[in-house]
Amino acid sequence: MSSQQPSAGAAELSRLLLRAADGDAAAFQIFYDRTSAKLFGVILRILPERQEAEDVLQEVFVTVWRKAATFDPARASPITWAATIARNRAIDRLRARPARPMAPVEDALGLADDGPAPDAGLVASQEARRLAQALAQLEPRHAAAIRACYFEGVTYDELAAREQVPVGTLKSWVRRGLMRMRGHLEGGEA
């Protein structure tokens, strides 16, 4: 196993968050400068409408400021902590809508075409490479279902309808896939 040294960037972001928790406005602004584009990207994949995504990003940083004191560097990296808040807020907004517009027809069955790891070339960290490798071991359609849920915030029901498979089938793809992924990440065979 690799030693999980926090990167210099993570250590710096942790310090900024701890300072923000003490009411340090400048530290909070630097944290915003370093992370806002990342979080905005995460939100936009779930909520492609820009104004809505901006509203959510604003809510997210207000939450980051208020909850900075609850951040624990031993439990999560600062960017994971903040990105989790961003995803949760974006998904909450998505779920609050009365009804989702149907995905365009050409998106149906798109999962099969989603390659094993279209983003593998862009990722930098060792964790991201290992995760991409673990997902590459799965049935492409299963890995693509995991990605669709994670990146777009779609529910099992919505994705099953889009893919024209029973919900139970889709759930077992995703859950089996995630268990195997974890098996790879943790060094065992799944």
Partner 1 sequence: MSAASTPDSGLTGLTEDEALAMDYALGALGRAERKAAELRLVGDPEFRARVERWQQQLAPLDEGTAPVAPPASLWAAIAAETISVAPRAAAAPAPAPARGWWHNLALWRGLGIGAPVAAAIAGAMISAPPGAPDLAPAVAEGPTLRATLAGSDGKPLLAAAYDPASGQVRFAPVAQSDAGAGKVPELWVIEGSNPPRSLGVIDISAGSAHSIPKGRLAGLKEGSILAISIEPIGGSPTGAPTGPVIATGALAAG
Please answer whether residues 71 and 18 qualify as being in contact, where contact means their C-beta atoms are separated by less than 8 angstroms. Answer: yes
Q: Write the single-letter amino acid at 138.
A: L
Question: Of these, 6, 7, 37, 112, which contacts partner 1 (CB under 8 A)?
Answer: 37
Question: Of these, 10, 12, 67, 114, which contacts partner 1 (CB under 8 A)?
Answer: 67
Question: Of these, 47, 61, 78, 111, which contacts partner 1 (CB under 8 A)?
Answer: 61
Q: Which of 140, 134, 132 is nearest to 109 (CA)?
A: 140
Q: Which of residues 88-117 bind partner 1 (CB under 8 A)?
A: 88, 91-92, 95-96
Report the C-alpha gap between 130 and 135 in whole angstroms: 9
Nearer to partner 1, 11 or 65 (CB): 65
**At closest approach, how far in Å is the CB of 142 from partner 1?**
13
Nearer to partner 1, 92 or 107 (CB): 92
Burial of 154 (0-12, 13-18, 19+ CB in 10 A): buried
Question: Of these, 14, 16, 28, 89, which contacts partner 1 (CB under 8 A)?
Answer: 28
Q: Which residues contact 172 (CB under 8 A, 6 or more apart)?
A: none
